[in-house]
Structure 1
Amino acid sequence: MVTDLGRGNHRRPFADPSLVGLVRMPETGGSPAVALLRRLLIALGALVAAALVVYAGGDGYVDNNSDTPISLGDAFYYATVSLSTTGYGDIVPVTPEARLLTTIVITPLRLLFLIVLVGTTVELLTERSRQAVRIERWRSRVRNHTVVVGYGTKGRAAVETLLGDGAEPSDIVVVDTDRAQLDAASALGLVTVTGNATRSSVLRIAGLQQAAAIIVATNRDDTAVLVTLTARELAPEVRIVASVRESENVHLLRQSGANSVIVSAETAGRLLGMATTTPNIVEVVEDLLTPEAGFAISERPVEESEVGGSPRHLADIVLGVVRGDDLYRVDASAVDALERGDRLLYIRKVTLPDED
Structure 2
Amino acid sequence: MTEEGGPDAEVFRPGEVSLPEHVRSPWWRLGRRLLAAFAILAGTVALVYFDGDGYHDNNGDGVSLIDAIYYTTVTLSTTGYGDITPASERARLINALVITPARIGFLVLLIGTTIEVLTTQGRELIRVSRWRKHMDHHVVIVGYGTKGRSAVDTLVSNGLDREAIVVVDPGPAALEDAHADGLAVVTGDATRREVLKRAGVDRADQVIITTDRDDTNVLTTLTVRQLNPDAWIVASAREQENAPLMKQSGASSVITSSDAVGRLLGLSSLSPTLGSVMEDLLTYGEGLEVAERDLLVTEVGKQPQQLPDQVIAVVRDEKVFRYFDPVVTQLARGDRLIVVRPAKELPWAPRPGTHDEDFAVESD
Task: Tell me, yes or no, whether TM beats 0.5.
Answer: yes
Code of the residue aligned with 1:61 in structure 2: it is Y
The one of 220, 240, 243 equivalent to 1:247 is 240
Deviations along 1:29-52, one digit per CA (max 9) or x if unpaired, are 444444443333322222222122
Deviations along 1:91-138, one digit per CA (max 9) or x if unpaired, are 433333322221111001111122233333333322222222222222
Deviations along 1:257-298, one digit per CA (max 9) or x if unpaired, are 111111111111122222222122222112111213222211
In 1, the alpha carbon distance for the partners of 2:261 and 2:81 equals: 75
The one of 43, 49, 66 equivalent to 1:49 is 43
Tell me: CA distance 1:97–1:301, structure 2 relative to 1, closer, same or farther (3 Å): same
Tell me: CA distance 1:104–1:207, structure 2 relative to 1, closer, same or farther (3 Å): same
The one of 130, 133, 138 equivalent to 2:123 is 130
Q: Which consecutive residues of structure 1, in runs of 5 or more, have no partner in the other structure?
A: 1-18
Establish whether residue 215 from structure 1 lines up as the match of residue 185 from structure 2: no
In 2, the alpha carbon distance for the partners of 1:33 and 1:336 equals: 66
Tell me: CA distance 1:281–1:90, structure 2 relative to 1, closer, same or farther (3 Å): farther
> Which residue does 1:160 correspond to in 2?
153
The one of 74, 95, 99 equivalent to 2:92 is 99
In 1, the alpha carbon distance for the partners of 2:179 and 2:68 equals: 46
Deviations along 1:300-330, one digit per CA (max 9) or x if unpaired, are 1111111121122100111211123211111
Runs (4+) off by over 4 Å: 28-33, 62-66
Tell me: CA distance 1:20–1:42, structure 2 relative to 1, closer, same or farther (3 Å): farther
Kept in 1: contact 2:52–2:62 (CA 8 A): no
The one of 283, 305, 312 equivalent to 2:298 is 305
1:188 CA drift (Å):
1.9
Tell me: CA distance 1:292–1:48, structure 2 relative to 1, closer, same or farther (3 Å): farther
**Bigger mean CA deviation after superposition, 212-221 or 125-134:** 125-134
Establish whether residue 115 from structure 1 lines up as the match of residue 108 from structure 2: yes
Establish whether residue 277 from structure 1 lines up as the match of residue 270 from structure 2: yes
In 1, the alpha carbon distance for the partners of 2:238 and 2:16 equals: 29
Tell me: CA distance 1:89–1:351, structure 2 relative to 1, closer, same or farther (3 Å): farther
Establish whether residue 233 from structure 1 lines up as the match of residue 226 from structure 2: yes
Instruction: Give the 5 Å matches for 1:332-347.
Output: 332-347=325-340
In 1, the alpha carbon distance for the partners of 2:27 and 2:311 equals: 51
Deviations along 1:152-206, one digit per CA (max 9) or x if unpaired, are 1111111111111111101111111111211211222211111110001111111
Structure with the larger RCO, 1 or 2 (CA within 8 Å, 6+ apart): 2
Tell me: CA distance 1:20–1:253, structure 2 relative to 1, closer, same or farther (3 Å): closer
Secondary structure at 2:108 match in 1: helix
Code of the residue aligned with 1:334 in structure 2: it is V
Deviations along 1:211-264, one digit per CA (max 9) or x if unpaired, are 111000001111111111111111111111111111121122111111111111
Q: Which consecutive residues of structure 2, in runs of 5 or more, have no partner in the other structure?
A: 1-12, 346-364
Establish whether residue 224 from structure 1 lines up as the match of residue 217 from structure 2: yes
In 1, the alpha carbon distance for the partners of 2:261 and 2:317 equals: 31
**Bigger mean CA deviation after superposition, 209-218 or 106-115:** 106-115
Establish whether residue 328 from structure 1 lines up as the match of residue 321 from structure 2: yes
Establish whether residue 151 from structure 1 lines up as the match of residue 144 from structure 2: yes
> Which residue does 2:251 correspond to in 1?
258
In 2, the alpha carbon distance for the partners of 1:25 and 1:64 equals: 58
1:150 CA drift (Å):
0.4
In 2, the alpha carbon distance for the partners of 1:236 and 1:343 equals: 24
In 1, the alpha carbon distance for the partners of 2:222 and 2:236 equals: 14
In 1, the alpha carbon distance for the partners of 2:191 and 2:79 equals: 57
> Which residue does 1:77 correspond to in 2?
70
Secondary structure at 2:137 match in 1: coil
In 2, the alpha carbon distance for the partners of 1:324 and 1:232 equals: 23
Secondary structure at 1:237 match in 2: coil
> Which residue does 2:9 correspond to in 1?
none
Kept in 2: contact 1:20–1:131 (CA 8 A): no
Count of aligned pairs between the two proteins: 333
RMSD: 2.2
In 1, the alpha carbon distance for the partners of 2:279 and 2:83 equals: 77
> Which residue does 1:187 correspond to in 2?
180
Tell me: CA distance 1:87–1:281, structure 2 relative to 1, closer, same or farther (3 Å): farther
What percent identity do the matched residue pairs reach? 49
